[in-house]
Amino acid sequence: MYFGTRLKMAKKKKKIHVDNLHLMKKLDEEYLAGFNRVYDSLMKSKKSDTDINIIANIALEDCLKGMQDGKKVTMVIPKDVKDYIQKNSKGHAYKEMKKKIRDQDWEKFQISSIWYVFATCIVLFFFKNLLMQKFLVNYIVDVIVGCIAGGISFQNFMIRRRIIKRYDFDSFFMQMDVSSLAACIVVKIVSPGNFDITYLILVIAFFITKKKIKPLFEEVI
């Protein structure tokens, strides 16, 4: 209850995605309170979204390690959290956490891209069935499967979008998604059957994006 309330309050203050917050559930009551003091202070600060994410993850990692080592909370998170935040706004710990989050984002981007291609192909398949009025099972089942696939596709598209926005990557990558999807819809409309090149279009777009975005991730640190 306490965990959920704190998160709701923070979300009202700032809409910032902070990675690995699910690990808060591993903290005991004292360490959770210590982490929340840092988290709340960050959300009230004028720091960039990137800095907030990195420092919050440093604090979370410090709390987990401190709890594991049996240290008192005050030895890990001091009463003056502003000094703690300032200390972790630069230096070795900051650089290491930035690299760790970058690697996590690169992995997330690849996985979400694969799921996006897979789910979008299913949506397009059922879209064509709807146009031809030839259903794999029946109308209701096909619509349900198509909607589920659409939800998965949209969710993974938003993950990719959030990562691209976080690092201020070129809009080319979003344009590639939109243009490849538009091309697939056109192919589905004009092609006589359901077996066409739409899957190939999405796979090619995936590999072009991966090839162009990987060097940009490597330049982040």
User: Residues 79-126: pLDDT tens digits?
Assistant: 889 999 999 998 899 999 999 999 999 999 999 999 999 999 999 998
For the chain, which residues make up each domain, given as ranges?
A: 2-93, 108-218
Q: How many CA atoms lie within 13 A of 72 on its CB side?
A: 4
Nearest to 57 by CA among 18, 106, 29: 18
pTM of the model: 0.81
DSSP of 80-99: -HHHHHHHTTSSHHHHHHHH
Q: Which fold has domain 2-93?
A: c-terminal domain of poly(a) binding protein (1.10.1900)
Other C-beta atoms lying within 10 Å of the C-beta of residue 162: 14
User: Residues 201-212: pLDDT tens digits?
Assistant: 999 999 999 999
User: Residues 28-43: pLDDT tens digits?
Assistant: 999 999 999 999 999 9
Whether 183 has a pLDDT exceeding 90, the answer reads: yes
Q: Rounded distance, CA 107 to CA 194, Å?
A: 32
